[in-house]
Amino acid sequence: MTNTTILILGGKGKTGRHVTERLQARGVQTRLASRSSARRFDWYDEDTWEPVTTGIDTAYMAPPVDPPGMMRAERFIRQAAANGLRRLVLLSGRGVGSPGREFEVYEKGLELENAVKDSGLDWTIVRPAWFMQNFSEDFFYDSVMAGELRVSAGDGAEPWIDTEDIAEVMVAALLDPKHIGETYSLSGPRTLTMTEVASELTAAIGRPIRYVELEPEEHVAELVGYGAPREVAESLRDLLAVIRNHRSEYLSDGVRQVLGREPRDFADWARRTARTGAWSA
Ligand SMILES: NC(=O)c1ccc[n+]([C@@H]2O[C@H](COP(=O)([O-])OP(=O)(O)OC[C@H]3O[C@@H](n4cnc5c(N)ncnc54)[C@H](OP(=O)(O)O)[C@@H]3O)[C@@H](O)[C@H]2O)c1
């Protein structure tokens, strides 16, 4: 229990929602701020920035995924530190800063992490693998519903992680000062290719789902055709390149380090999620 109110940026998202639920269950006050929350906050409207950090000393941040948005997040951090913020837990991405990450989205991700470290704030950085919830709530949901995972991931594998595991790590980081100055990389317990993901989803949902491998530019064109902003579609293409190039086929033990237990498995997550009706036709 703490008397502090924790600011949650991205509190309605795939991770932020679970961070908020867990903090509230422990009696911690939270201040949600996003475009649709009572306390309006928009990365693209700087007039909304200062009011959300006023009176706040601890924040959880899920930054935008595209490079221009990340640069805005860097500016926000500097402004928030000047406005009294003292502690920040950042949702970053696994592999940011590793050799061979030649894409702008990783370069900007590293710049954002460095801005956090240089901000004078007490920080914790959490770098998760790709989320399982992308298949139930985000990029890949429509593909799952259509029975075809149309993705440019080649035959590379990824150790998908449950955002509930990420949220538990975030809550530990937000509440326990022993995590200050630490960077944690998190993954699920095993790597799965898109073909293996399709097979797990087929078993859990009870409908056939197959992987249709797209070329990267074909994938961008499809996403833009469905209404995704080009910058976001290109960021997704570049993030997927790391899977396609087999550079993400390793496990990270951040969940064990912080929580002292193993992360949840994809098959268990898929069965549990199917039972909630997430993929009901
Ligand atoms: N997906 C993955 O596999 C993966 C893996 C590693 C790291 N990441 C990182 O995770 C972060 C995304 O976190 P998430 O997936 O938990 O979030 P998310 O599900 O994408 O949710 C986005 C949240 O941000 C808010 N938001 C969207 N646009 C906004 C804007 N212009 N201004 C203010 N708030 C805005 C949304 O609420 P409103 O709609 O109300 O504004 C929502 O609460 C990204 O930085 C990404 O790089 C993702």
Q: What domains can you pick out in the chain, each with its CATH number?
A: 6-131+162-186+250-263 (3.40.50.720)
Rounded to 5 degrees, what are φ and ψ at 265? Answer: -90, 150
Pairing of strands 29-34, 5-9: parallel
What is the band of 96 on the pLDDT scale with cuts at 50, 70, 90?
A: confident
Residue closest via CA to ligand 1's atom 17 equals 13
pLDDT of 97 reads 67
CA of 18 to the centre of ligand 1 (A): 13
238-262 pLDDT tens trace: 889 989 999 999 999 999 999 999 9
Q: How many angstroms separate the CA atoms of 214 and 237, rounded?
A: 10
Residue nearest to atom 47 of ligand 1 (CA): 65
What letter does residue 230 receive in the DSSP assignment? H
Distance 145 CA to ligand 1 centre (A): 22
pLDDT for res 1: 44
Q: What is the mean pLDDT of residues 149-166?
A: 97
Among 37-41, 192-196, 209-213, the range scoring the smallest mean pLDDT is 37-41
What is the DSSP annotation of 88-121? EEEE--TTTT-TT--SHHHHHHHHHHHHHHTSSS
Q: Does residue 99 register a pLDDT over 70?
A: no
- Per-residue pLDDT tens for 112-134? 999 999 999 999 999 999 999 99
Q: 272 CA distance to ligand 1 centroid (A)?
A: 23
Q: What is the mean pLDDT of the chain?
A: 94
Q: What is the pLDDT of residue 53?
A: 95
Summarize the confidence of residues 157-162 as an average pLDDT: 97
pLDDT of residue 238: 86
Determine the atom of ligand 1 nearest the C-alpha atom of 128: 6
281 pLDDT band, cuts 50/70/90, is: confident
